[in-house]
Structure 1
Amino acid sequence: MTFTLDRRFFLTLAGAGTGAAALAACGGPSTTPGAATATAADIDFSGVKPAASIDFWSNHPGKSQDVEKSIIEKFHAKYPDIKVNLVTAGANYEEIAQKFQTAQAAKSGLPSLVVLSDVWWFRYYLNESIISIDSLVKQLDINLADFRTSLVDDYKYAGKQWALPYGRSTPLFYYNKDHFAAAGLPDRAPATWQEFAGWAPKLKAASGTQYAFMHPALAGYAGWTLQNNLWGEGGSWSKGWDITCDSAESVAALQAAQDSVYKDAWAGVSSKESADDFAAGLASATLSSTGSLIGILKSAKFNVGVGFLPGGSKEKTGVCPTGGAGLGIPSGVTKEEQLAAAMFLQFMTEPENTAAFSAATGYMPTRTSADMTTVLAQTPQIKIAMDQLAVTRVQDNARAFLPGADQEMAKAAAKILTQQGDVKATMTELKATLEGIYTKDVKPKLKA
C-alpha cells in the first residue's frame, strides 16, 4: 500500500467516487445510503422562510451546556421568531453518531443542526446525511475568510463546504504546579517523555500521589492522544496509507507507555476521564483536550500549569494532533429548518460568540477576528493552546479515515496498557485489522 495522498485529496475522492456502501464501518454509523436528499448540488433557498423551531443536537463539548444556552438566549433576542431547542444527544461524539444514525434509519426525529466529530463527520457526507452549506453561506453572507484557515478547510471537499468548525481542540499537557515545585522541578511541561520519565520518581516522592501521570481513558480517544507518543519516537499509526503501527519505532513508543504503567510504575490509566482524575489530585500530570481547560481550572484545588505536548527521542516538535468537532445541517429535514439552522449556525460562530465559547471551555477561537483580550486576561492558559496550533500535525490517515479504526486502536491500547499484553504482537494484530479495513472499505475508492 504505497499510494499516498493528503487529507483534502482523499476527501475529494471520497466525494467523487462510487457508492458510499464501500465505506461501511466496523463500528458506529453505517455508510450505506439512507433517506437523505440531494447533497451534491446546492439547494436553492430563495423564497424560503425559516422554520419557527429547530432542534440543535449537542454533547456539550468541554462542558459547554451553559454557554450554549447563553448563546441561544442571545439568538432568541435577535431572532424572536425562531426557537432553538438545545437537545443533549449524547455524552460524547460517538453517542451522537449513533443517535443520528438511528434517526436517519427511522426517517424521523432528525435534528436541524448537529455536532460532527473529526472521525465521524465525513461518513455523514458519504451517507448523504448532511447538505453542503455553500448556498446558505452565500445567501446569509457568512464570512468564511475570517475563520482560521486550517480549521474551516477541514470541512471542505469535493469543492464544497460541509460544516463549520465549532469545538476545535488539541491535547494539552496539564501539570500540578504545586507538585512540580515540591519536587524541585522547573515550572514547565517536559520537553520530551524521556525527560518526564526522569522527573516521575521525584514527583511521586514529593507529592505522595500514586501516579506522576495519568494516561487518558482508552475508551475515549486513545487513538488521538497516542499519536503524540508515536510521532515522538518516529512512529505512527500509518504513513499515507501504509499501516505502520507495528514498526520498530511505533512498538518502542508503545512499549515505553506500557513500561510507565507496569515496569516503572509511575503512570496510571484513567477509567473514565483523565482530566477529572487530574483535577481531583490523583496524578501530577495528564494529557487532555483544550476543551477540558476551563473545567480543570474550576475544579482543581491547586495551581494548574499547561504546556505543549512533550516530544520524544526522535521528534521534539510537531507532535501534536488537532481534533474536535464542527456543526453540520442534516439533509433529511425541510428547507425551512435548514435555513433556520444556518442562521443559528452563523450566529453560533460569530466572533463574539466563538470568543465566549472559548472562554467557557478552552476550545480554540475559530474566528481570526475574535477579540480574545478579555478572555486571555482572565485565562492566560488559553494562549498556550492557541500557540500550539501553529505546531500541530495532520492526523494519521489510519485514525482519521479508516472507518472504525479509532475503536480498534482503543482496544489495542487497552491490551497494552491495562492487560500488559505483548506490544509487538498486539500491534501486528492491529495492523492486520487496519489493513483489512483499508483493503475492503477504502482502497476501492482510491485511484493511483
Structure 2
Amino acid sequence: MNIKKKILTLLLSSALLVGALAGCGNPAVSSGSGSAAATDSGEKVKIQYWHINGENQGGAAVQEFIDEFNASQDRIEVEGRYNNGYDELLKNLQADTAAGNAPAIVQVSWSNIEYFPANFAYVSPNEIVSSYYPEDSNFLSSTFEDSILNLAKNNDGILAGVPYSVSNPVLYYNADLLKAAGLSENGPQSWDEFVAFAKAVKEQTGKFGAYLQEGDTWVLQAILESGGASMLTYEGGAPTATFASDKGKAAMQSYADMVLTDGSAVHLTSNDDGLKAFNDGEVAMCVSSIAKATNIINSANFDVRSTTFPEFSGEQRAVPAGGCYLAITAQDTEEQKAAWEFIKFLCNDDNSAKWVAGTGYVPATKGAENSQILKDYLGRNPLMQAAMNQRSNAVQWTAWPGSALEAQQALIDMRDQILGGTKDVNTAMDECQTKVQSLIEG
C-alpha cells in the first residue's frame, strides 16, 4: 500500500499545449560553467521569482532576501512577484509561458509534484549542476535529508526542483478559553479529547470549540488518514481511491458530529475567516498550518499555545507535508544560472533559518537547525515545537492521477455536503469515491 501525493490539476489551454508542453521538462541546457554573467551589453541578468507569500505569511522575508541578494553582487537582479496561492501561480504561469514570458523561478506546491513536471517546461536542478556547476555536485545531498529531497521527486524519480518550504498541520488553542471551560491548559492529547474539549467549550462558554482548516483537502486528508484510512492505494501499479473505507467514514462521522450534532465546531470554507475567528477569541482550538504561527502570534490577544495533531485511538498520526519546492522555469541560459545562484543563496544555513522565523515553516535544510537564528527563534516561539515533534509523522500530500483538479474539487464538495448537512457521510463518501475513481481511470 503506497500513499501517493495529491495533485491539483489545471486544465491546459491550447496555447499552453503549443507553448509550455513543447519540450516539456527539458528546455535546452547548453554546456558551460561558472557564475551567471552580465549580458553582452553589460546589463545585469534580470530574473523573476514567483511566490505565494503575502503580507501575513512571509512576504516581508521574501523581499528582504531579494534586497540582500541584489545588494550582494552586481551581476544579477531578482524581482519578486506575488501570486495569491499555488493554484493562481500555476494558472498565471500557464498564461505567461504560453506568451513566451516565463519567470526564472516559481514556488510549486508539493501537491503538484506529479502535475507540474508533466505539464510545464522546467530544468531539473541536476541538469543545472551537471551543465554549469559541477562544483555543486554534492550541494543537494549535503543540504537536504533524503526524506525532504524525495518530496521534490515525482513517481519517475525525477527531481523537479529544490525543497524550500515544509509545513504540517498543528493544533493551536486558546488556553484562556480552555481554562474558562474547566479544561486542561495543556490541550487535548487525543482525537477523543479534542472532541470532548470542543463540546465542553461550547457548553461552558458559548464559544465554538474548534475550527479545522478548509479551503483545500490538506487537513481533511490528515483527519481521514490519521483515522486509519488511505486516500489512494496502488495494487499492481493500478491506482485506487480508498478514502471511503470504514475507518475513513468513522473519522469523517466524528468530524461531522462536532459540526452538526454538538455544534462545537464551525464550518467555514474560507481559511482566512477561520483564522480570524480563532484570533478574535471566538474559537478555542484551530487546526491549521504551522506556517500560520507568525500570523497567530502577532494577532491573538490571549494565551495561545500549540500541540500536535490529535491521534485517533489505535492509529498512527498522519500529517501531509505542505509547502513548496523551487522550480527553475527560465528558458535562457544566463537566467538559468542566475536562478541557481539565487536558490543557493536562499538555502544557506542562516537564510533557511530566517525563512523559518519569517514564516513559521519547519526547517527544510539540514544546516538550519545549527543556525543561532533558528535556535533563538524556537526559544521565542514555543508554538513551533508541535510541528517539530511531528515531522516523523509526515506523509505525502495525495497526488491524484487523471483529472486531478476535478478529483480535488469532488473531495471538497463531499466535505461541504457532509458538514453542510445535505448528505450523510456514507452516501457522500461512497459517491465521491466512485466519482474520483472514474476520474482516475479517465
TM norm structure 2:
0.86
Shift of 1:143: 4.2
* Alignment map for 1:40-439 (pairs within 5 Å): 40=26, 43-46=29-32, 49-50=36-37, 52-60=45-53, 63-88=57-82, 90-106=83-99, 108-138=100-130, 139=133, 141=136, 142-157=139-154, 158-209=156-207, 211-217=208-214, 220-221=215-216, 223-240=217-234, 241-273=239-271, 274-315=274-315, 317-330=316-329, 333-370=331-368, 371=371, 372-396=374-398, 398=400, 402-439=404-441
CA contact (8 A) 2:110 2:321 kept: no
Distance 1:281 1:132 in 2: 46
Most deviating of 386-395 and 348-357: 386-395
Letter in 2 for 1:433: K
Shift of 1:149: 2.7
Shift of 1:156: 2.6
Shift of 1:58: 0.8
Distance 2:209 2:47 in 1: 47
Letter in 2 for 1:432: T
Deviations 1:295-353 (A, max 9, x none): 101100011111110112341x332221211110115x211111111111111121111
Q: How many residues align?
A: 415
Letter in 2 for 1:39: G
Q: Which runs of 5+ in 2 are unaligned?
A: 38-43
TM norm structure 1:
0.85
Secondary structure of the residue aligned to 2:32 is coil
CA contact (8 A) 2:403 2:440 kept: no
Secondary structure of the residue aligned to 2:211 is strand
* Alignment RMSD: 2.7
Distance 2:361 2:401 in 1: 21
Shift of 1:144: 3.2
Secondary structure of the residue aligned to 1:119 is helix
Cα distance change, pair 26–42 in 1 and its aligned pair in 2 (3 A) = closer
Distance 1:263 1:205 in 2: 13
Cα distance change, pair 94–343 in 1 and its aligned pair in 2 (3 A) = same
Shift of 1:224: 1.4
CA contact (8 A) 1:28 1:97 kept: no
CA contact (8 A) 2:173 2:284 kept: yes
Cα distance change, pair 296–137 in 1 and its aligned pair in 2 (3 A) = farther
Secondary structure of the residue aligned to 2:433 is helix
Cα distance change, pair 313–33 in 1 and its aligned pair in 2 (3 A) = farther
Q: Which runs of 5+ in 1 are unaligned?
A: 12-22, 441-448
Secondary structure of the residue aligned to 1:269 is coil
Distance 2:401 2:264 in 1: 28
Letter in 2 for 1:231: E
Shift of 1:128: 4.3
Correspondence for 1:20: none
